Amino acid sequence: KSAVTVGISHFDNTPLLKVSTHGIVIGNSPDESLCNTKAFFDNAFAMLAISNSFGDLGLDLDNLGEKFRNVLDKSDDPMKKMAQGIGRVDRIFVLGSGPNFVTAREGAQKIKESTHIHAEGIELEEFNHGCTSVIDDRSLVIIINSETDSPRTGDIVKACRFTGTKTAVINGEGDYSFTVPEKVDPYIQPILNMVPVYYLAYYMALQYGVNPDYLRFEDKRYLDYDNVVFPPGAH
């Protein structure tokens, strides 16, 4: 009962803020995509600032906004071209380890929501235990790479060529590659690494003729499903 709670919400006067000891309202406008990409970054930055302050982590956050904008600007066109090169696939795995495991999970979620293709975010080494039985030439493996992971990333890329599986590597070499133009603390880097993955999800959806922002709600069956599990006002 004595625990102090901090609620982070995109809007004021939400149920979360009402039950929290302290409330933080982030963002200054609605998230226009039902995939909540804006809300993810707002929450990530808020949590990072809180952790840095409370835990005295000594992270340099002063120039993070400028670095983030630079990654936004320089990721757009390359990821559009990457989506065009990849073409149509039936299943997607997004791999990451350490701090980038979160990026892999979030990236897979957004790809799934945007493209309506099954995507799974999984720890890099865990992928080699079972998942390889379902990959083929209609599969895509996306790897969020780091210096620590590079040798194993190279092994997976090489192995995927035997099954005809396409690979896309962020910060490394694959069939398709993109290097995030900003390098920061390893515990902050996953936030910047998320940007190109979001762009890839967006452009893959457009290429497939899918509305990337609507979670299939233009089909009343899916909207009805959502209204049952999340009644209006639930979140």
Q: SS3 sequence, 23-77? A: EEECCCCCCCCCCCHHHHHHHHHHHHHHHHHHCCCCCCCCCHHHHHHHHHHHHHH
Please tell me whether residues 146 and 194 are part of one structural domain: yes
Please tell me whether residues 89 and 2 are part of one structural domain: no
Q: Are 124 and 108 in contact (CB under 8 A)?
A: no
Please tell me whether residues 57 and 94 are part of one structural domain: no
For residue 116, give the H/E element and its range: none
Task: Tell me if 221 is assigned to some domain.
Answer: no
Q: Which residues of the chain have pLDDT under 50?
A: none
- pTM check: above 0.85: yes
Give dist(CA 36, CA 227) in Å, integer. Answer: 17
Task: Tell me if 234 is assigned to some domain.
Answer: no
The model's pLDDT over 19-36, given as tens digits with 9 standing for 90+, comes to 999 888 887 677 788 888
Task: Tell me if 220 is assigned to some domain.
Answer: no
Please tell me whether residues 52 and 159 are part of one structural domain: no
Backbone angles phi, psi at 144, to 5 degrees: -90, 100
The model's pLDDT over 51-69, given as tens digits with 9 standing for 90+, comes to 888 777 777 788 888 999 9
Neighbours of 22 (CB within 10 A): 11
Please tell me whether residues 81 and 58 are part of one structural domain: no
Q: Are 99 and 190 in contact (CB under 8 A)?
A: yes
Domain hosting residue 117, numbered range: 76-213
Task: Tell me if 94 is assigned to some domain.
Answer: yes
Q: How many domains does the chain have?
A: 2
Q: What is the pLDDT of residue 61?
A: 82
Task: Name which of 89, 178, 192, 98 is nearest 141 in CA terms.
Answer: 89
